[in-house]
Amino acid sequence: MTILTERVPGQPAPPETLVDIPALLKSYFNQPATPVEFGTSGHRGSSIKGSFNEAHILAISQAICEYRSAQGISGPLYIGFDTHALSKPAFESALRVLAANGVRIIINKGDEYTPTPVISRLIIKHNLGREKDLADGIVITPSHNGPQDGGFKYNPTHGGPADAEVTNVIQNKANELIKHHLAGVATIDFIAARAKVQELDFIDFYVGELEKVIDFAAIRSANLRLGADPLGGAGVHYWQPIARRYGLNIEVTNPSVDQTFRFMTLDSDSTIRMDCSSKDAMASLISLKDKYDIAFGNDPDFDRHGIVTPDGLMNPNHYLAVAIWYLLQHRPNWPKNLKIGKTAVSSSLIDRIVAGLGRELYEVPVGFKWFVPGLSRGWLAFGGEESAGASFLDQQGAVWTTDKDGFVLALLAAEIMAITKMTPSQIYQKLTAQYGSSYYGRKDGPITDEQKVALVSIRGEALVGQSMAGHKVSSVLTKAPGNQAALGGIKVILDDGSWFAIRPSGTEPKMKIYVESQNGQALWQQIMAEAPKLVFK
């Protein structure tokens, strides 16, 4: 009889609970396909569940080829993949379709892993000043999801995540192709496809570009001890070239790549998830906090960041607030009229800091795609998500990436310390003394189909004036103030400025509940307990 070891958050996964990689890969080629469904950032799923397999990738790739043709996109397509087990076979499947459709494909030299922000930067650099021969890209990654999952996302010519209008076209076409057993999907064998591909050293390109966005001279002069944990992700081979080129003292704390991600400590729900904003998933790096001045972790496609100081792992909202405060005062070439972007479920401390510095806030629903127009057109200085994803303009005020960039947010933490002589967590304490403190947190739970319908159809005005947690509901939002786009859920603001928001996850079958209390943890707990009762009664 097999005795199962208890799964404990913050501790390594018991060996018997690790994903069976051969079974995962076998299912990729053999399992029937469920419909393609794009969430907040591409199509994700698991081959074992039939939600991410070869049929999906062949169909999506063909749909992308037809979308490119319809839009007159004739330039190169940059494509890369991360370290998840399903990413490499999906990459090979995609190449077979792209090559058969005559797409000019550019990949990382030597089939090296490719982080999301690298693809975004490549697209932006190629398209700068062009009106024709525009480039786009594909990133094959399920981001921070566990080792059982695969993901596939398309970045159009602006370099950022495709919006719903684009993904709906691709999704519908892909599902039509799947329905007709892939009739209409052009393919050639992989060896022939690989022979048509152009290679480029993405690492050398991206590392060389970084000096446009980060003050490396300041970091170098401060001689900071920096620790980097790639969490087994696509940026694992980027940190040492960055250190060599810019003369930095960066130690990669764990250079391992393992498709089971067995080196990860379990997340709060006792599963393996490479969430660099989670203290449980980041336990290994947090244990080294006293060894470094600043340390940072990133998720597998490096579009998210986790900042560790000697005080521990920073709450993502706290770091976003510090980053915005710093950037608005240390980027003299940024025009004063630029807006600061945040999601509606990010901390209201950001609102107060932005107002205090005389800038305008731009508040949008969850999803980095909402920041793309502002970043690409240069009227948005910064776009940040509550889930530890952000990007910002380069030092001259020009577009850097239009997708989240975990590298630059990590390196910015080192720049902040080099310039201010304080860690980001110390600056956060000063900011709360000036702008007020709050208690912020999120919990995830199951969601029913009925609850999903209720979130879409709820009449917010019916909640105004009702009491909960000892406070009156003062206002209810179902659309974001910045762009009036639907939140995909509801945000309820109480009379003391505390608030909660509920929305379904765009990547997992979960309900996400966000709460920020302006009066301590006890009120936070009370709001968290009463929020679902108020909304779903």
Query: Coil, strand, or helix at residue 344?
Result: coil
Q: Residue 460 pLDDT more than 90?
A: no
Domain hosting 384: range is 206-435
Q: Are residues 184 and 214 in the same domain?
A: no
Instruction: Give the whole-angstrom CA distance, residue 322 versus residue 316.
Output: 10
Q: Are 407 and 500 in the same domain?
A: no
In a domain, 189, yes or no: yes
Residue 224's domain is classified under what CATH number?
Answer: 3.40.120.10
Active site residue 143: yes
Displacement of CA 26 from its chain's centroid (Å) = 28
> Looking at 408, 435, 462, which one is the last position of a domain?
435
In one letter, which amino acid is 145?
N
Last residue of a domain, one of 149, 165, 200: 200
How far apart CA 506 and CA 21 sit, in angstroms, is 25
pLDDT for the residue 481: 96
Domain boundary among 402, 420, 435: 435
pLDDT in tens, 325-367: 999 999 999 999 999 999 999 999 999 999 999 999 999 999 9
Same-domain check for residues 196 and 210:
no
**Alpha-carbon dihedral sign for residues 453, 455, 461, 467:** positive
- For residues 345 and 226, membership in a common domain is answered with yes
- Answer yes or no: do 368 and 287 share one domain: yes
Residue 56 reports pLDDT greater than 60:
yes
Provide the percentage of residues in the chain whose pLDDT is more than 90.
Answer: 91
Q: Is 80 exceeded by the pLDDT of residue 41? A: no
> Is 7 domain-assigned?
no
Please write the tens of the pLDDT for every residue from 103-155. 999 999 999 999 999 999 999 999 999 999 999 999 999 999 999 999 999 99
* pLDDT over threshold 60, residue 2: no
pLDDT of residue 508: 67
Shared domain check, 257 and 179:
no
Global pTM value: 0.96
Domain count, the chain: 3
Residue 173 and residue 49 share a domain: yes
Q: Is 90 exceeded by the pLDDT of residue 510?
A: no
Query: Does 419 lie in the same domain as 307?
Result: yes
Can you tell me the distance from the alpha carbon of 391 to that of 402, in angstroms, rounded to the nearest whole number? 7
Measured CA to CA, the distance from residue 235 to residue 242 in angstroms comes to 11
- The CA distance from 493 to 465, in Å, is 11
pLDDT, one tens digit per residue, over 414-455 is 999 999 999 999 999 999 999 999 999 999 889 888 898 888
Alpha carbon distances (Å) from 4 to 14, 118, 147, 399: 8, 41, 20, 51
Cβ atoms of 142 and 151 closer than 8 Å:
yes
Q: What is the pLDDT of residue 1?
A: 39
- Confidence check: pLDDT of 188 > 70: yes
Q: What does the block give as tokens for 186? A: 């052009």
Backbone φ and ψ of 332, nearest 5°: -60, -20
Query: pLDDT value at position 6?
Result: 84
Tell me: do 242 and 169 sit in the same domain. no
Averaged over 75-82, what is the pLDDT? 98
377 shares its domain with 297 = yes
**DSSP character at residue 144:** T
Residue 281, domain member (yes or no): yes
- Residue 2 falls inside a structural domain: no
> E-strand spans in 319-470?
339-343, 360-364, 380-385, 389-392, 439-445, 467-468
1 occurs within a structural domain: no
CB 97 within 8 A of CB 185: yes
Examine the pLDDT at 228 and tell me if it is beyond 70.
yes
Do 427 and 473 lie in a common domain?
A: no
Active site residue: 143, 347, 348, 438, which one? 143
pLDDT tens string 248-306: 999 999 999 999 999 999 999 999 999 999 999 999 999 999 999 999 999 999 999 99
**Domain annotation covers residue 5:** no
| pLDDT at position 390 | 98
Bridge partner residues of 342 (DSSP): 363, 384
CATH assignment of the domain containing 509? 3.30.310.50
- Both 127 and 114 in one domain: the answer is yes
